[in-house]
């Protein structure tokens, strides 16, 4: 295992490099000194290693594994592991940078982390995937753990992958340590409510802001771009609260119905066919048309950078709730502000998942597990208490909710850093 020595420029990352622009805006509001800015824009640790493994055919392959632990000021690093052929150190560093603020904005006792392996799980058998996961975990045994770094699922990783990771780590340290990862199956220390947590968090934040805007749920038309885990659960929960879902989409296209889409029907169709292709509950339109369609609330819950200067000018929604990571470019964000469109930023709106991951970590350490209703109640309390602080900062500073969210997150990390001091 080697530690990467080169400095990584997160500006080079096409998706999450925008976080630097948002960081700088908040740092200016806080009048953050140059020294602290330098500290907070450099990762604590970057790790690169080779993962040799043997295919079922007997052939040998070598993949590259990464783990970036960006900041430890508030606690152990926290962030997912992604398996994708295009994983790079720059990407993982940028995601770990972003996770630092995501954990801080909801006041979790974690820093930011992220990891990945340059493989394509679609080309791997279950046995090959297990061998890669176990080798990846073994390479990180010395630097992960409940008090060091707590990985979780991300792109192309699953509860089963987390189970293999946990088992490998536990075998190396010769004791059962379920708290080394989150997102595990319930049977080995996972938390109830984790699967729906991100979508539930989106709904909780949206409904609270709608109340602030005096937009009643039974009068609200909702469009959700993306009908995966986040979008699907958000749609279901919005519908349960009386909202009308008028638009949904996936990779096959978008579907719009001004009279309302029956969410259970869409879920059943997606479960049966794997996509929304052929769904009859709405008129098929393009994803671009969906973003510009008539609605009160728009939830981007799929792709990054869907809102550019061009698309932002066409949005008709009064409120945007970012279920996806990085859906809005800084240029689009300025347009939304000029047009008076409220945006609940990704680091707040989709923090439900990492919050329930924190609950899982806490339950594992106690050896005592909560009922789902208790998980959901605690989630709502965490999210709303911090959203209200963000709103207060935005009002007092005449700033956007995004700038206020980054301000709150950065301020918390700065205070922790200064209290701990710089060890030299």
CB 71 within 8 A of CB 99: no
Active-site hit among 78, 114, 184, 318: 114
Contacts 24+ apart (CB under 8 A), 61-65: 63/117, 63/118, 63/119, 63/132, 64/117, 64/118, 65/115, 65/116, 65/117, 65/118, 65/135, 65/136, 65/139, 65/140
Active-site residue, 114 included: yes
Query: Do 235 and 246 meet the contact criterion of CB atoms below 8 Å apart?
Result: no
**Ramachandran bin of 87, using left for φ above 0, alpha for ψ from -120 to 50, beta for the remaining angles:** beta
The rounded distance, in Å, linking the Cα atoms of 309 and 327 is 12
Residue 37 tokens read as 């800015």
Contact call for residues 10 and 19 (beta carbons, < 8 A)? yes
Distances (CA, A) of 156 to 49, 80, 159: 20, 10, 10
Q: How far apart are CA 285 and CA 253, in angstroms?
A: 6
Catalytic residues: 114
């Amino acid at each position: 295992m080697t530690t990467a020595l080169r400095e990584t420029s997160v500006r080079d990352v096409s998706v999450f490099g925008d976080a630097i622009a948002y960081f700088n805006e908040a740092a200016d509001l806080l009048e953050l000194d140059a020294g602290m800015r330098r500290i907070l824009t450099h990762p604590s640790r970057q790790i690169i290693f080779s993962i040799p493994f043997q295919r079922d055919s007997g052939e040998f392959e070598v993949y590259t594994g990464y783990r970036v632990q960006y900041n430890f000021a508030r606690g152990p690093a926290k962030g997912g592991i992604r398996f994708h052929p295009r994983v790079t150190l720059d990407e993982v560093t940028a995601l770990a940078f972003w996770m630092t603020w995501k954990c801080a904005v909801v006041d979790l006792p974690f820093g930011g982390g992220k990891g990945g392996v340059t493989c394509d799980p679609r080309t791997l058998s279950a046995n090959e995937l297990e061998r890669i996961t176990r080798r990846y975990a073994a390479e990180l045994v010395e630097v992960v753990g409940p008090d060091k770094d707590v990985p979780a699922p991300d792109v192309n990783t699953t509860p089963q992958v987390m189970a293999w990771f946990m088992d490998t780590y536990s075998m190396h340290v010769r004791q059962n340590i379920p708290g080394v990862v989150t997102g595990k199956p319930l049977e080995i220390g996972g938390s109830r409510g984790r699967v729906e947590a991100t979508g539930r968090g989106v709904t909780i934040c949206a409904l609270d802001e709608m109340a602030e805007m005096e937009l009643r749920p039974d009068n609200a038309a909702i469009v959700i771009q993306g009908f995966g885990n986040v979008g699907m659960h958000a749609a279901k929960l919005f519908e349960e609260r009386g909202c009308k879902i008028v638009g949904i989409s996936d990779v096959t296209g978008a579907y719009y119905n001004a009279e309302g889409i029956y969410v259970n029907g869409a879920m059943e169709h997606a479960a049966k066919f794997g996509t929304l292709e052929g769904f009859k509950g709405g008129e098929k339109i393009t994803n671009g048309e969906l973003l510009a369609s008539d609605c009160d609330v728009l939830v981007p819950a799929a792709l990054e950078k869907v809102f550019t200067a061009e698309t932002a000018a066409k949005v008709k929604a009064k409120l945007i709730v970012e279920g996806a990571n990085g859906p809005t470019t800084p240029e689009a964000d300025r347009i939304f502000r000029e047009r008076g469109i409220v945006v609940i930023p990704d680091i707040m709106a989709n923090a439900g998942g990492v919050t329930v991951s924190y609950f899982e970590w806490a339950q594992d350490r106690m050896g005592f597990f909560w009922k789902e209703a208790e998980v959901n109640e605690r989630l709502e309390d965490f999210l709303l208490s911090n959203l209200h602080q963000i709103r207060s900062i935005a009002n007092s500073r005449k700033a956007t909710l995004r700038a206020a969210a980054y301000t709150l997150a950065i301020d918390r990390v700065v205070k922790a850093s200064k209290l701990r001091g710089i060890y030299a």
